[in-house]
Copies of this chain bind each other. A is one copy, B any other.
Amino acid sequence: MSADAAAVESQPVDSSKLAQRYDRVRWTTEALVEPLSPEDCVVQSMPDASPAKWHLAHTTWFFEAFLLTAKLPGYQPFHPQFSYLFNSYYNAIGERHPRAQRGLLTRPSLDEILDYRAHVDRHMNELLAPGVSAEMAALVEVGLHHEQQHQELLLTDIKHLLSCSPLRPAYREELTASTTTPAAMSFVAFDAGVRAFGHGGEGFCYDNEQPRHRQYLHPFAVADRLVTNAEWQAFIDDGGYTRPEFWLSDGSHCITSNGWTAPMYWERIDGAWHSFTLAGMREIDPVEPVSHVSFYEADAFARWSGKRLPTEFEWELASENCLIEGNFLDDSRFHPIALDGGTESADSRPAIAELYGDVWEWTASPYVAYPGYKPPEGALGEYNGKFMSNQMVLRGGSCATPQNHIRPTYRNFFQPSARWQFMGVRLAENA
């Protein structure tokens, strides 16, 4: 999560651009809660999820704790207990409210939290106006990327909450329908060799993307597109969820104890598969990329296909000449779309499609430190390093990720049983 200090310090900071970016990111978060009622914003639907109000406050607390309190002379915290209430897991900053009880905070109200945001924004503008040091700019950058992460969580948490109501209310009504059928899946091959991975250039990155380092890769090939709902349905129809030969032992236990027989949000209604979307219940669109599957399901599907998942390094190498284009938060669809569902013609389609956006892609790589990794000093050092066990890496961003938040070297990570994010599957094989 630490910006590359050397790189950042060597160039002058364009303060007005930073302030502009600050405003834009903060505005986006508030636009995302616009369709929600105060009641929608307060409830926590499961321990993994947080209330929207908490996301609004926690991202604000980040700027207050790491910038205003530390750097703006005379700044008074908006409320003496907010630091306790809205700290997430930074032990160095002090005690905090237990995660599973975030949904009990009916006070402060949503209106007070919006006041809190306005208060902090006002002071942040004051702080940024005269221009800032490279070190402070780097902290602001961290705060903005942090808030962008929470934008994604806010959407996936709200999706989960709304799905819990028997009324199945929509976050908003529109949902783009797909109109085309993706071509057969083919595989693009890569040679063996020692290659460099991780973030090495300019610009922002998290600490866990560093240092840039070498890995030896054996020959491999990756699929030129994502796995679709139709392909997943074939897996279900073939008894995929009930045949132990495809499943890791932990995966088998996971689907059995949770009673999973299809991706999250899938429901059979009158014989046809439907799924809950942010536009309400919809019939499954067979050509869309499958979403809301856990690592265990992705891995079992790959085994059933006679393929495997790519490692994170294979993914990173495959992405090398691809543009960061796709279906992002910025498109406001909040749902994966079919490959050609839009303007792409076969010619304009990249050799490897859908690498970015739509759904995060599970890799076969456990989330561990890169050789030579060092967490940053101070409270921000708790950001990424301490989660390096029992999680798997995902790559590429989703339809809930802001476009300028994602990078080829970006490592997202979740427990192999998680599936409430937009998570899907790209296959790979040995070449």
Contact = CB atoms under 8 A, between A and B. Distances in A.
Contacts of A390: 250, 390, 416
B166 A84 contact: yes
A318 interface: no
Given A366-B368, A371-B430, A430-B372, A387 B249 contact: yes
Given A39-B39, A166-B97, A389 B161 contact: no
A348 interface: no
B416 A106 contact: no
Contact of A38 (B37, B101, B169): B37
26 contacts: A37-B106, A38-B38, A39-B42, A39-B106, A39-B110, A42-B42, A42-B43, A42-B106, A43-B106, A91-B245, A103-B103, A105-B165, A107-B162, A215-B215, A245-B381, A247-B386, A248-B386, A248-B387, A248-B389, A249-B389, A250-B387, A250-B389, A364-B368, A364-B369, A366-B368, A371-B430
Interface in A99-143: 101, 103-110
A282 interface: no
Contact of A218 (B38, B214, B251, B365): B214
Contacts of A381: 245
A388 interface: yes
A89 interface: yes
A165 B387 contact: no
A248 B367 CA distance: 12
A342 interface: no
Contacts of A188: none
A276 B97 CA distance: 18
A272 interface: no
Contacts of A92: 245
Q: Interface size bucket, A side?
A: 35 or more
Contacts of A167: 81, 85, 107-108
A43 B214 contact: no
A222 to B, nearest CB: 14
A117 to B, nearest CB: 17
B109 A39 contact: yes
B107 A169 contact: yes
Closest 5 CB pairs of A and B: A366-B366, A216-B216, A104-B164, A39-B42, A39-B106
Interface string A60-94: 00000000000000000000010011000101100
A418 to B, nearest CB: 13
A224 B6 CA distance: 36
A350 interface: no
A261 interface: no
A244 interface: yes
A38 to B, nearest CB: 5
A251 B250 CA distance: 19
A285 interface: no
A89 B215 CA distance: 35
Given A107-B165, A389-B416, 18 more contacts: A39-B42, A39-B53, A42-B106, A89-B249, A104-B164, A106-B165, A194-B194, A214-B216, A214-B218, A218-B372, A248-B387, A250-B387, A252-B386, A295-B389, A364-B369, A365-B368, A371-B430, A390-B390
Contacts of A368: 364-366
A99 to B, nearest CB: 11
A249 B415 CA distance: 13
A146 interface: no
A43 B104 contact: yes
Nearest to A367: B366
Contacts of A161: 104, 106
A81 B214 CA distance: 54
A213 interface: yes
A33 to B, nearest CB: 13
A389 B37 contact: no
Contacts of A247: 386
